[in-house]
Amino acid sequence: MTPARIVIILVALVAAVGLALVVHGMFGSAKPPPQMAMQPPPPPMTRVLVAKTDLGVGDRLSPDNMAWQSWPAATLNAAYITDGVVAAAPRGQTATAVSTATHTVGDIATGGGPRMQAMIGAIVRQPLYAGEPITDREIVRSGDSSYMAVRLPPGMRAMSLPLSAESGAGGFIQPGDHVDVFSTHTDSTRNGSGGMVTEVVITNALVLAIDQHPDAPKNSPTLPGNTITLEVPASSVMALAKARAQTGLTIALRSYADIGGRPGGPTVGDGQTIRVFRGGGPAELVTAQ
């Protein structure tokens, strides 16, 4: 074998070894692609009833000031009011938008659902801030022991008077109406002559309840009772207590067109004659002092 052929063989051998090393470097040591980190599943979510706006003591709950807010089921407080549904949180913006739209349509169709509907009309007894969960500790419902005290605005008092169909507009007075209260009694200034005088005790007083019913019946135009509870200013308590101790109270139902303004004292001028009707008897003319 000639020296030239030996050189060619050596060069070819070196080239083959070099090519093998290059191929091994490209394919033999290739690492597998890194795997995506596994995302934990979204936590189960529910919806909690919260205040939609800031609410003060005495405010009534309504669909306008309540809302449902998503809440992790794992951190749910037992006192919170939920919609009763627990589901996995939606993945991605598209799924979230679909879930929100579904809840919105359902709330519109059902008025927020039965659990929100059950809260309508309850009265706030502790301040609530927007986004704060509503619990039974912050509200009172009709029939609760502190319902009437929370319902009264500052400076107002609740006072009860005897009621009958004869003295109370035939039983057509209902909670939520406004009334005037008159007191008819013997005029002590006439030296026992038996003259009668009628005084206007209070005007435009809100009816809080008839007996123990703070709400008007839905299917009846009348609500018979023996006691009527009125919302009156603190300054009128003495006059109303005096009238209650006397006989001859008359409670006049006001028109809805005349219920503007706050309740107050007498508005009838001195010496004005008014008619008082008692049962089926003739009208009695009396002088208002």
pLDDT at 23 over 70: no
Tens digit of each residue's pLDDT (9 = 90 or more) over 167-207: 777 778 888 889 998 888 777 666 555 677 888 888 888 98
pLDDT grade for 48, boundaries at 50, 70 and 90 = very high
- What are the distances in angstroms from CA 232 to CA 124, 146, 156, 207, 250? 21, 18, 6, 9, 16
**Average pLDDT for the chain:** 76
Residue 11, CB half-sphere, CA atoms under 13 Å: how many? 6
Please give the pLDDT value at position 287: 47
Residue 50 β-bridge partners: 67, 133
pLDDT digits (tens, 9 = 90+) for 67-108: 999 888 888 888 999 888 777 666 666 666 656 666 666 667
Measured CA to CA, the distance from residue 150 to residue 140 in angstroms comes to 8
- In the chain, the domains with their CATH numbers are 44-140 (3.90.1210.10), 153-288 (no CATH)
The band of 250, judged by pLDDT with boundaries at 50, 70 and 90, is confident
Interatomic CA distance for residues 177 and 165, integer angstroms: 16
Prediction pTM value: 0.54
What is the model's pLDDT at position 130?
A: 92
pLDDT at position 129, please? 92
The reported pLDDT for the residue numbered 270 is 41
With a cut of 90, say whether residue 40 has pLDDT above it: no
Beta-bridge partners for 180: 252
The per-residue pLDDT for 216 is 73
pLDDT of residue 183: 85
Residue-wise pLDDT for 98-149, tens only, equals 566 666 666 676 677 888 888 888 888 888 999 999 998 888 887 666 777 8
Q: Please give the Cα distance from 147 to 159 (Å, whole number).
A: 15
User: At residue 225, does pLDDT exceed 90?
Assistant: no
Parallel, antiparallel, or unpaired for β 284-288 and 272-276? antiparallel
Q: State the Cα–Cα distance between residues 21 and 66, nearest whole angstrom.
A: 73
pLDDT given at position 92: 63
